[in-house]
Amino acid sequence: MDNQKRQRGRPKKNQDADPNTKAVLLRAGLVWLTSSGFNQSSLDTILSSVQVPKGSFYHYFENKEAYGLEVLAHYRQYFEAKLSKHLNDTRYPPLQRLSHFMSDASNGMAKYQFSRGCLIGNLELELPQLPNTFRHAIVATYSSWQALVANCLKQAQAQAEITADKDPAALAEVFWIGWEGAVARARLLQSAQPLQQFGQFFLKQLTH
């Protein structure tokens, strides 16, 4: 007989957990939530896909909601790095930087045969079935992304690429509304055409 009975329920946190396990779980979350969404991605399926036991999961995350919010934060950080890489690249004029970002994002979707969308856009569609904590996180994410685009458009104004009567903040908000719609349509059609159409239309409006 065992000297001690195993305690049921979630294991206590310990110092022996593999620090790489959390990174593995976050990467798996990005894959599943960008392809299937939060509600359609069961915790058992996610854990099985990376062969991580539930005990290890609960060492890092209180529940699926906490996990989803951290995946969202991880995605926000990753995507802001991608945005900043292009929008702050002063080797190119500001509007060309925005065009480079759109091309990069489009190529990223094509790489996965348009099976993955934008995690933030996916979660936005699921909001009626999600805890309210997700709403606040999504709004904050869009605000941050819009600020990056607005700053790029302000630089475009300073370099006379767009006229002074344009409102960079309003245009940045319109950009993300349209871009997320184009991402959804690209997944529907399995084609980069909606992304290209929106990009060309948006840039054309800035210069007219």
* Residues ≥6 apart with Cβ < 8 Å to 82: 101, 104, 105
* Residues ≥6 apart with Cβ < 8 Å to 167: none
**pTM of structure:** 0.85
Kindly report, residue by residue over 69-128, the tens digit of the pLDDT: 999 999 999 999 999 999 999 999 999 999 999 999 999 999 989 988 889 999 999 999
Task: Give the CA angle between residues 39, 107, 45 to the nearest 5°.
Answer: 25
Say if residues 62 and 30 touch (Cβ distance below 8 Å).
no
Gap between the Cα atoms of 125 and 129, Å rounded: 9
Gap between the Cα atoms of 152 and 42, Å rounded: 39
pLDDT score of 22 more than 50? yes
pLDDT, position 13: 40
Say if residues 148 and 84 touch (Cβ distance below 8 Å).
yes
Gap between the Cα atoms of 123 and 138, Å rounded: 8
Say if residues 66 and 58 touch (Cβ distance below 8 Å).
no
Question: What is the homologous superfamily of the domain 72-206 according to CATH?
Answer: Tetracycline Repressor, domain 2 (1.10.357.10)
pLDDT score of 2 more than 60? no
CB neighbour class for 160 (10 Å; exposed up to 12, middle 13-18, buried from 19):
exposed
